[in-house]
Structure 1
Amino acid sequence: MSEITGMALIRSRRGLSAKIAAKLGITRGAVAQWNVVPPQYCPIIEATFGIPREELRPDIFLKAESTGVAA
């Protein structure tokens, strides 16, 4: 997991807020007003932009830990 998470992560990537807004059908201003990423949008952002939901909302989504056993 990166050190930067949530909205700080989104804001750190140039143009990402605008791309997220376009994908979700909302305005860039709406995304800019988020203090945290709404959990209902995490799966969409993860699938579209490849940012794990655990990094978007580490307070809600736990990172799956590897058991070290190959399937």
Structure 2
Amino acid sequence: MVEDMTPYEALMAAVEIAGSQSALARMAEVSSTAVWKWVQSSKRLPAEYVLRVEAATGVSRHHLRPDIYPVEMPEASSRWSGIDQRAGARSNGVDARTRRVAVNRRQISNGARL
């Protein structure tokens, strides 16, 4: 697929792969008139049909609706994956009495009150 494809060009490619607007309508389980309106009026595929059309035609969801499905990001290396266990302690501080990260600075205890 072309990387600089507009949503309209992606929709037309899906129609071409399906064979016709009627065939795409059957794949998306809508009327032929609905597909005609997508092509003629809105120039884009409604969000609720993107995954069906992608599965049936192979046209990427990103090309069909880049506003909803952004380009897939490459996976991060294992060095940067995981949960940062100390993020809360750095921003909020550790409650000395309970030895837990305080959610709010005002929740840090001052010990037992007599």
By the TM > 0.5 criterion, same fold? yes
Q: Name which of structure 1's ranges 10-19 and 21-30 shifts more when overlaid on structure 2.
A: 10-19
Matched with 1:33 is 37
TM superposition outliers: structure 1 runs of 4+ over 6 Å = none
Alignment check: 8 A CA contact 2:7 2:64 kept: yes
Instruction: Using CA pairs under 8 Å that are at least 6 residues apart, name the structure with larger relative contact order, 1 or 2.
Output: 1
Post-superposition CA distance 1:4-36 (Å, at most 9, x none): 232332225533432220112222221111212
* TM-score, normalised relative to structure 1: 0.73
Q: CA RMSD in A?
A: 2.4
Task: Work out the CA distance in 1 between the residues paired with 2:73 and 2:20.
Answer: 28
Matched with 1:10 is 11
> Percent same amino acid at aligned positions?
26
Q: Which amino acid aligns with 2:33?
A: G
Gapped runs of 5+ residues in structure 2? Answer: 78-114
What's the offset of the Cα at 1:68?
A: 7.6
* TM-score, normalised relative to structure 2: 0.50
Q: Which amino acid aligns with 2:11?
A: I
What's the offset of the Cα at 1:67?
A: 4.1
**Which protein has the larger Cα radius of gyration, Structure 1 or Structure 2?**
2
